[in-house]
Structure 1
Amino acid sequence: MGLGTWQLQRLAWKEALIAAAHERPGAAAVPAPGPDTWSGFAIDDWRYRRVTLTGTFGPREAYFWIALTEPNGPLSGAGAMVLTPFRTTDGWTVLVNRGFVPEDRRAPASRPGSEPPEGTVTVEGLVRRDDPPSFITPAPDAASRTFYARDIAAIAGALDAAPPVAPYQIDLVAEETPPGGLPQAGESRMTFTNNHLGYAFTWFGLGAALLGVTAAALWRRSGRRHGPHAAPSSE
């Protein structure tokens, strides 16, 4: 029964997260959380919030491989999200997802005008959580700096990002797409699976079945002890 209760708690958490994903991107932007908030950082309090950053983009890129379906912009298919370190004027770094590029336009030389703006700029984006790889995630390709999980530590290391590095990432909003159209910003994926209610019913059902089996076994044992053929008392 405890596992069923836990699944109901997870259901409430997931429903709150889904609600946040729909509501927060449309709210007014606030400054991105700095290092004074990172100790015990509660990502669910910030996830999908629209924030602003002021600083400079680094010169290097890494790539998170993705097959983009149902895009917000005109481009989709196999490609990558372009990840670039952004050094804030307050002296800390955050990984910024500048947007999607098709596989045949991944090389910077194939997309003139896609470079990040030079100098100090202010940008807006959505806060996204760290996403370390699981045991089934392919290993990154170090030569091409291609990753299959948005693992902050690994990507920041590959890009020689200056510390301290934020424990979250930023997805630029669509308005940050360069005039040439690449990288195509505003492609945050907000899809969720929510099977917790079904899991809860399963665990409660298994618990009820186990109680029934236990009760039947006790009843049969009691019947053998007190039935007409029960052994006489020694008293």
Structure 2
Amino acid sequence: MALRLKDQLVGQVVDGRYEVLSRIAAGGMATVYLAADARLGRQVALKVMHPHLAADEVFVDRFAREARSAARLSHPGVVGVYDQGAEGGTVYLAMEHVPGRTLRDVLTERGALTAGEALAVVTAMLDALASAHRSDLVHRDVKPENILVGLDGRLRVADFGLARAASASTTAASVLIGTVAYLAPELVTQGRADARADVYAVGVVLFELLTGSLPFTGDVPAQVAYAHV
């Protein structure tokens, strides 16, 4: 699916404004592209939702509301949200482009970090999350893949609100299948959570940074999810 999206969008102009230059990454919810904003003359990260989500009207409505909330955040540790829109079957989010890599890439390359390095990472994460929590915005999908490490070494938290938008979709279960390792117990048992769920997820990330492994594993996602309870 991601390759098909790439073939369709690279070289195209989305919504009369964003020229898609290349594909950066693909995940369970979307494919992320490097794009040139013709209106403001800058490069952005363009997150394009996968077709099964873009076709879900409930998801698209929630996605738009969550994007507006995320756009109000202003913090050096949070990836900025610039724009959100839809053109035909393409539903997108234009965000700050952060050249570098993800915290997952760092873990894959290095394995466990030193205690000092791990504490520096989670301190930066908690500072960014606290800013969002003061604005009543909960991330709900904190994990190494959503922590960007810039070329300057600064950490930024990405994808605020997307997990909450996905929870409104009829395909939410498939979207969250890859993130069960970081789910707080109340998200597993009740499907809802507040800022404390983000703090719990940071604790799981800290465990992984210090040990190079996750606290809970299993053969199927449900087994991992309920190990948190």
Task: From the CA coordinates, give the structure whose radius of gyration is larger.
Answer: 1
Q: TM above 0.5, one fold?
A: no
- Which one has more relative contact order, counting CA pairs under 8 Å at least 6 apart? 1
TM-score relative to the length of structure 1: 0.24
